[in-house]
Amino acid sequence: MRNTLAQLWKDRPAFLDVKSFRQIIQLAGDGFLRDGSETSNEVREWLTAIPLARLRACAEECLSRTFDDNGLALQDVVNEIGARLGFKVTRGRYRGVKSAIGNDGLWVGDDGFAYLVEVKTTDAYRVNLDTISEYRNGLSASGKIDVSKSSILIAVGRQDTGDLEAQIRGSRHAWDIRLISVDALLRLAEVKEQLNNWNTSTKINLLLRPVEYTRLDGIVELLFATKQDFEAAEPPPTSPQNQNVLSPSKVPNGELEFAREGTVQRVGAKLGTTFVRRGKALRASVDGKIRLICLASQKYDGPAGSINYWYGFTPAQREFLNGAEAGYLAVACSGSEKAFLFTRDEIFRWLPDLLTTPPSPGSENDIRHWHIYFNDYGNRVDLMRSGGGVITDLNNFLL
């Protein structure tokens, strides 16, 4: 039985690493992208599994090389970028038919606002804006979107889009349509992959809407929120109670990321799903129904010969887990094969018993973060309570 692209990527990543996007498409099904085909399904599944840097390479190949169906391949890439931005994505048809609405994609945000997405490799040809607007009306008539909470987003391969911009500005659809390059979409996704606060991530998506920018406060507030998110990052690994338990040297961040990514893969295998990166510690299943926070810590010298691990869990991360049908928290132990997995309900039940750090001045939250720290004695792993005492033995949650 032939392995799918996703299976090959999991079992033999080096085999696919050296192949171009076109060669990878040729390995799937019969090698041709058609609506509802095995090739299409395999390629889309593979796109969900690859890192963002490889997704960028696929986009660049679609735009710099001419091959069969490169425009259709770019459509799949752009829709995957939409998923990386945090939208619920419904992929459109490659080729229009009279019995179906012909938009390339439909992206819906957490707040229900919908974007009808059209993908163009170039703006060399005039776009029929009336036709795209009719797609939007058709989606509204079928009950899939609310016109008052929707707009049209045209993603183009070129950054020199002066002619298309002028066409949009001079049309009756000017207030409903916005234009963005594929490169700019990828840059947004790259920024969001480094964020920890899902609220900031959601606010970034507002940039894609038609908004009147006479007053610029909203943009300034977004930039400030993003700056704060980068500066806050994950709470730094310091002793939660100023105990003298720190190791003499700090583990390089690369080792923490390696431990995190390995744990994400293990959680995915356990739950039977593939996770897509939504932020530095944020992950979600392809369909968005499962969300995962994965935190990583170096090891410290704990009491009585134990090994201590410490993590910070934030209100924004709690909110992220609350926004899906199922939520999980995984904690990776750098320098060890150990990792622990908790359901959303389990970790939420423990939060009132954990040590907390006070909020920053002006914060809307009651706390800055909760301290999750435990002492690993080997035969037991004690999750510590604020003020002393043990909440539970984490060996019961060993991944």
Can you give the residue ranges of every domain in the chain? 86-224, 238-397
Give the pLDDT confidence score for residue 196 in this predicted structure.
73
Least confident of 79-83, 185-189, 303-307, 377-381: 303-307
Mean local confidence (pLDDT), 211-237 = 66
Q: Is 243 helix (H, G, I), strand (E, B) or coil?
A: coil
Compute the mean pLDDT over every residue in the chain, rounded to the nearest whole number: 85
Give the pLDDT confidence score for residue 244 in this predicted structure.
43
pLDDT at 335 over 70: yes
pLDDT at 44 over 90: yes
Query: Residues 6 or more apart from 139 whose CB is under 8 A from it?
Result: 101, 103, 106, 114, 116, 145, 150
Give the pLDDT confidence score for residue 78 in this predicted structure.
96
Mean local confidence (pLDDT), 207-217 = 75
Give the pLDDT confidence score for residue 153 in this predicted structure.
93
Give the pLDDT confidence score for residue 53 in this predicted structure.
93
pLDDT at 230 over 50: yes
pLDDT at 110 over 90: no
The reply to whether CATH 3.40.1350 applies to domain 238-397 is: yes
Give the pLDDT confidence score for residue 245 in this predicted structure.
44
Q: Where do the H-state alpha helices sit in the chain?
A: 5-11, 13-17, 21-27, 38-49, 52-64, 70-84, 129-141, 162-169, 182-192, 198-205, 217-232, 253-271, 315-322, 344-350
pLDDT tens-digit profile of 162-198?
Answer: 688 888 888 888 889 998 999 999 998 998 888 777 7
pLDDT tens-digit profile of 292-324?
Answer: 999 999 888 888 888 899 998 988 899 899 988
In this prediction, residue 271 has a pLDDT band, given cuts at 50, 70 and 90, of very high
Structure tokens at 304: 């009585």
Model-level pTM? Answer: 0.80
| CA 210 – CA 357 distance, rounded (Å) | 39
Give the pLDDT confidence score for residue 54 in this predicted structure.
94
Q: In the chain, pLDDT over 70 holds for what percent of residues?
A: 88
| CA 312 – CA 228 distance, rounded (Å) | 17
pLDDT at 251 over 50: yes
Give the pLDDT confidence score for residue 214 in this predicted structure.
64
Mean local confidence (pLDDT), 127-141 = 90
In this prediction, residue 72 has a pLDDT band, given cuts at 50, 70 and 90, of very high
Instruction: Give φ, ψ of 378 to 5 degrees.
Output: 95, -70
Give Rg (Cα) of the chain. Answer: 23
Give the pLDDT confidence score for residue 200 in this predicted structure.
77
Core vs surface per residue 309-336: b (16+ CB within 10 A) or e? bbbbbbbbbbebbeebeebbbbbbbbee
Give the pLDDT confidence score for residue 77 in this predicted structure.
96
* Residue pair 120/84 in contact by the 8 Å Cβ criterion: no
